[in-house]
Structure 1
Amino acid sequence: MVRAVERAGAQVELTGDFQTALDADGLVVPGVGAFEACMQGLRAIKGERIIGRRLAGGRPVLGICVGMQVLFERGVEHGVETEGCDEWPGLVERLQAPVVPHMGWNTVDAPESTALFNGIEGERFYFVHSYGVRDWTLQTNDRTRAPLVTWAEHGGDRFVAAVENGPLCATQFHPEKSGDAGAALLRNWIGTL
């Protein structure tokens, strides 16, 4: 992930230090493995507090794969329910497709006025996951700007592929494994910093 963000034009520092992560121009929250393990790792370095404080100050955060999933209210994997960072309401649950995991290239359905997918709306991105957010539950009642939600489908099951919500953005797919399209998406995000 570090090299992909560097190739996209950013100076990168890999850190678990609270203040360094808080002060960075942008923070990437990667995630590999299970929801519960990712949350344990985040909590060990007070990562959920870093994310919350950054967002309260309008400071950009980008979650990737399980790093996106933990931004939701909770996740259920292998019968274990785990509290997430609760930046968005919603449940991360097992995909309901004939073949899981969803592994490989897939297109996404990005909304109009997307910044992340600007210029790459029709491209394919690389997914590796068995769990996702299958139902978007956040209601803004027109009091605040609604997040832009990008969807994808696997085996007839629709799930959230990306979210753009002010300073908080996230992708279920791996931009660092998505070739030129993923590099363009990272450049688009870096351009918002």
Structure 2
Amino acid sequence: MDTNLDLKTREGLPEALRLLLEDFPRDEWQHHANFAGLVAFWLDRHMMFRRLCDMLRTDAEAAIDGRLAASQWNPRLSRFGGMLVQQLHGHHQIEDMHYFPVLSRREAALTRGFDILDRDHHAMDGLLDRFTRSANGVLQGQAEAGAFHSEALSFEAMLLRHLEDEEDLIVPVILKHGPDGLQ
């Protein structure tokens, strides 16, 4: 596959995979009849991932600046970092095993996009492992907040790229075809 489509380097999906987005632009999603239910729930999950990343990053910044003591930061890092990792693993498994195959059959012209997203998930397994090791280093007193912050920034950037691309591909397909057979 084209290395320009790697999660670490791409700036978005190719235009050929964003065709449905022209018919279903982001600013109109909430007004579509097929938005309520599955699409709204799925986008809420993505928003949760964004908020967790933001919280973990800003907590690390506060720890670096001395505004958040380890006694306050460590429980938050453990709880919310663990939540992010566990929820992302589960979310990706459901998408890879159920949603992507079903949606790919509904829009065969977008199969390449679902393959890219699946490949992202495999790449993110390594990112999640690095993120976890970095957080555990802080929690075990073997790493500084700055090291975790760098890892959190890198992880967040790639996760945000993936989430945006995933939404641009999947939401228009569900809006077009409806959620039947996906729930």
Higher helix fraction: Structure 1 or Structure 2? 2
Same fold per superposition (TM over 0.5): no
The alignment's TM-score, normalised by the length of structure 2, stands at: 0.30
Greater relative CO, 1 or 2 (CA 8 Å, sep 6+):
2
The alignment's TM-score, normalised by the length of structure 1, stands at: 0.29
